[in-house]
């Protein structure tokens, strides 16, 4: 499930990806130079679709040439600031949506722009908007839970499109169920996991 870095130099800690059907990368890994090198090398060497979140995206934003190396059908899960770092500023939501669609087409990837009504763009240029979720989910670790859900669905042989659409919906639904019992103010990321079943 997890490969931890216990080595001194990054070359010896680059994980072997052969045999893995799914790789989720970025949650809590930081963006120091060694970590960026591992992210870049892993993206370049991967043959399977990746789920890229948080610091994997922030690392790629520091070397945008890596974007073209991301395997087709991968899923990128930026929040608005990460999206801006990756693809540039836009004047408004409409321009950002156009840019999101364009980047999904160009990269052959799914882009999940997280927010109040998360938007998923596809390699065909289509968009899907999520209807579940609530403001209580805007809490530390909530995006990490989402990355785990999507990665878990991919590992169960769902297509990238199904994994990202279903993952976002279930993540928000778990948040809605949790809020009914716990309220928005005290919601924690781990509460979402408890309500997934």
As a whole number of angstroms, the distance between CA 62 and CA 167 comes to 28
For the residues 125-154, what does the mean pLDDT come to? Answer: 97
For residue 160, the Cα-to-chain-centroid distance in whole angstroms is 12
As a whole number of angstroms, the distance between CA 12 and CA 8 comes to 8
Residue 95's CATH number: 3.40.1190.20
Quickly tell me which residue has 């928005």 as its tokens. 184
Residue range(s) defining the domain that contains residue 165: 10-194
Instruction: Please answer whether residues 35 and 54 qualify as being in contact, where contact means their C-beta atoms are separated by less than 8 angstroms.
Output: no
For the residues 49-57, what does the mean pLDDT come to? Answer: 97
User: Is 57 domain-assigned?
Assistant: yes
pLDDT computed for residue 9 by the predictor = 55
Q: Is the pLDDT of residue 169 over 90?
A: yes
For the residues 121-146, what does the mean pLDDT come to? Answer: 97
User: Is 181 domain-assigned?
Assistant: yes
- Residue 102's pLDDT band (cuts 50, 70, 90): very high
For the residues 91-108, what does the mean pLDDT come to? Answer: 98
Paired strand residues for 50: 23
User: Is 2 domain-assigned?
Assistant: no
User: Is 4 domain-assigned?
Assistant: no
Nearest CA to 164 among 52, 40, 29?
52
User: Is 101 domain-assigned?
Assistant: yes
For residue 130, the Cα-to-chain-centroid distance in whole angstroms is 15
Paired strand residues for 52: 25, 76
Structural domains counted in the chain: 1
pLDDT computed for residue 20 by the predictor = 86
User: Mind listing the pLDDT tens digit for each residue in 25-42?
Assistant: 999 999 999 889 999 999
What is the average pLDDT score of the chain?
93
User: Is 82 domain-assigned?
Assistant: yes
Q: What is the percent of the chain where pLDDT is above 70? A: 92
For the residues 5-18, what does the mean pLDDT come to? Answer: 61
Q: Which uninterrupted H or E stretch holds 144?
A: helix 142-155
- Residue 17's pLDDT band (cuts 50, 70, 90): confident
For the residues 87-105, what does the mean pLDDT come to? Answer: 98
User: Is 161 domain-assigned?
Assistant: yes
Instruction: Please answer whether residues 21 and 154 qualify as being in contact, where contact means their C-beta atoms are separated by less than 8 angstroms.
Output: yes
User: Is 5 domain-assigned?
Assistant: no
Instruction: Please answer whether residues 46 and 17 qualify as being in contact, where contact means their C-beta atoms are separated by less than 8 angstroms.
Output: yes
């Amino acid at each position: 499930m997890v490969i931890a870095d216990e080595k001194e130099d990054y070359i010896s800690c680059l994980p072997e990806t052969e045999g893995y059907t799914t790789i989720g990368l970025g949650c809590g890994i930081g963006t120091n130079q060694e970590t960026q090198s591992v992210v870049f090398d892993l993206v370049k060497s991967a043959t399977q679709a990746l789920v890229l979140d948080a610091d994997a995206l922030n690392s790629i934003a520091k070397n945008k040439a890596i974007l073209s190396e991301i395997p087709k059908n991968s899923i990128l899960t930026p929040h608005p600031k990460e999206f801006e770092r990756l693809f540039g500023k836009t004047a408004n939501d409409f321009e950002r949506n156009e840019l999101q669609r364009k980047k999904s087409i160009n990269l052959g990837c799914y882009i999940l722009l997280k927010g109040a009504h998360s938007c998923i763009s596809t390699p065909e240029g289509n968009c899907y908007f999520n209807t579940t979720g609530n403001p209580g989910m805007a809490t530390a670790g909530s995006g990490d839970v989402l990355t785990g859900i999507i990665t878990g669905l991919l590992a169960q042989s769902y297509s990238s499109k199904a994994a990202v659409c279903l993952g976002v919906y279930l993540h928000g639904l778990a948040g809605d169920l949790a809020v009914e019992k716990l309220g928005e103010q005290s919601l924690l990321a781990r509460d979402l996991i408890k309500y997934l079943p």
